[in-house]
């Protein structure tokens, strides 16, 4: 047996040496690839081209999957590998682009800049060569001086304070100053900005949290208000930082956010409340959990790990949102009779009807959720 072990070590050594050599070559190639990325960054800076190019990335992934299959490699493995490589490439590019300003030297006033989201954008603007001023609750006596010569006034305050803040700051703004807000409600604030300020106006909604650390592939909704051509430099700056821009009317934005934000958060709250009322032993349920349940419960736990007042403002922001949530509760009550009658056939009928309505998205959802499940399985 000892002889066999010695023979094994002797025969495997050159194979391991070869693998080590290949690993060194892979590292060398990645270094060469990064050098080419640096040149791409230089060109993108020169011509103000955004970091993220979705069509280019998806085309590359498609080609690599075909090449992997032809080489008898797992296409999913190849895609996973290159998603990591492309993500790293974007992060590097975005980090370097952060030092490139579309309008370097412009003066930015951020109202609420000491808050998390305001601080996040203040940091990005400063890195890109902008002069950033902050107006907090204690600074209103200096509002006139802080507004002097500014190119952009960016309002980053809680939803319930946004419209009042717009009214307070508008008298101090030059007509040429771009006025924008970061509120997750758009119709009311946009109308208030248009009525209070005669200059360029645009509404913004970053669809991410301030802890993201980067704008890479993060969505910012832009709702045009007035003089869109004079607002374009700001949109281009976000794009240069790696953001994905979605254009929308204020009304469309608010209608969609009722579902994407208010309904989703409220339904998650209700799930968490029900678990609490049942005195559910969370740790024990996780021992019995499939990865998809762990993912679902993780989203519930994520909600309750954050600021309650923030979510209350999102959920109760408008009468329309509250009306939608009441309709949601009423919809849940419709199922009571089905449960009381143990009506499985009705459930199947409803299920099949809804599945048909979801259509091709169900297949996409299956692929995307399977990817997340596999990642969770790898980690846990």
Summarised one tens digit per residue, pLDDT across range 31-83 is: 999 888 888 878 877 776 766 676 778 888 888 899 999 999 998 888 888 88
pLDDT at 293: 86
Q: Which sequence spans correspond to the domains of the chain?
A: 2-97, 107-248, 253-379
For 282-315, write each residue's pLDDT tens digit: 999 988 888 888 889 999 999 999 989 989 999 9
Q: Which fold has domain 2-97?
A: Chorismate Mutase Domain, subunit A (1.20.59)
User: Which position has the higher pLDDT, 295 or 165?
Assistant: 165
Q: Which fold has domain 107-248?
A: Rossmann fold (3.40.50)
pLDDT at 329: 95
pTM of this structure: 0.74
pLDDT at 96: 65
223: phi then psi, degrees, rounded to nearest 5: -110, 105
Q: How far apart are CA 131 and CA 110, in angstroms?
A: 11
Q: What is the mean pLDDT of residues 335-362?
A: 94
DSSP 259: I
pLDDT at 250: 97
CA–CA distance from 10 to each of 1, 6, 15, 134, 282 (Å)? 14, 6, 10, 68, 51
pLDDT at residue 97 tops 90: no
Q: Which CATH number fits domain 253-379: 3.30.470.10, 1.10.443.10, 1.10.3660.10, 1.10.760.10?
A: 1.10.3660.10
Lowest-confidence region among 91-100, 260-269, 316-325, 360-369: 91-100
Q: What is the mean pLDDT of residues 6-23?
A: 90
User: Which position has the higher pLDDT, 203 or 99?
Assistant: 203
Q: Long-range contacts made by residues 375-379, C-beta under 8 angstroms, separation at least 24?
A: 376/291, 376/294, 376/295, 377/291
Q: How far apart are CA 13 and CA 15, in angstroms?
A: 5
Domains 107-248 and 253-379 equal at CATH topology level: no
For 59-69, write each residue's pLDDT tens digit: 888 888 999 99
pLDDT at residue 98 tops 60: no
């Amino acid at each position: 047996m000892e002889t066999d072990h010695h023979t094994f070590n002797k025969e495997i050594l050159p194979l391991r040496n070869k693998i080590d050599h290949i690993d060194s070559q892979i590292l060398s190639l990645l270094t060469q690839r990064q050098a080419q990325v640096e040149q791409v960054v230089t060109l993108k800076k020169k011509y103000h081209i955004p970091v993220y190019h979705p069509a280019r990335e998806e085309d590359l992934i498609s080609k690599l999957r075909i090449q992997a299959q032809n080489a008898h490699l797992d296409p999913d493995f190849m895609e996973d590998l290159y998603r990591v490589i492309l993500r790293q490439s974007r992060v590097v590019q975005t980090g370097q682009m952060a030092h490139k300003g579309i309008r370097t030297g412009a003066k930015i006033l951020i109202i609420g800049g000491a808050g998390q989201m305001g601080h996040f954008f203040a940091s990005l603007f400063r890195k890109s060569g902008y002069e950033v001023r902050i107006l907090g609750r204690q600074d209103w006596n200096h509002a006139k001086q802080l507004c002097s010569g500014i190119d952009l006034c960016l309002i980053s305050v809680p939803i319930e304070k946004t419209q009042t803040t717009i009214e307070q700051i508008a008298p101090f703004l030059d007509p040429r100053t771009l006025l924008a807000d970061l509120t997750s409600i758009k119709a009311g604030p946009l109308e208030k900005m248009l009525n209070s300020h005669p200059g360029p106006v645009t509404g913004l909604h970053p669809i991410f949290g301030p802890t993201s650390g980067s704008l890479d592939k993060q969505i910012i909704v832009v709702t045009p208000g007035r003089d869109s051509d004079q607002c374009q430099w700001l949109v281009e700056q976000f794009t240069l930082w790696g953001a994905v821009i979605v254009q929308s009317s204020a009304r469309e934005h608010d209608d969609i956010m009722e579902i994407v934000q208010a309904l989703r958060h409220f339904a998650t709250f209700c799930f968490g409340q029900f678990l609490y009322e049942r005195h559910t032993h969370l740790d024990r349920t996780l021992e019995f959990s499939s990865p998809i349940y762990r993912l679902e419960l993780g989203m519930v736990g994520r909600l309750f790990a954050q600021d309650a007042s923030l979510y209350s403002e999102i959920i109760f922001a408008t009468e329309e949102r509250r009306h939608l949530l009441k309709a949601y509760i009423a919809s849940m009550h419709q199922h009571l009779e089905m449960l009381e009658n143990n009506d499985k056939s009705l459930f199947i009928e409803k299920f099949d009807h809804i599945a048909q309505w979801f259509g091709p998205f169900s297949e996409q959802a299956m692929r995307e959720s399977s990817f997340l499940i596999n990642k969770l399985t790898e980690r846990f």
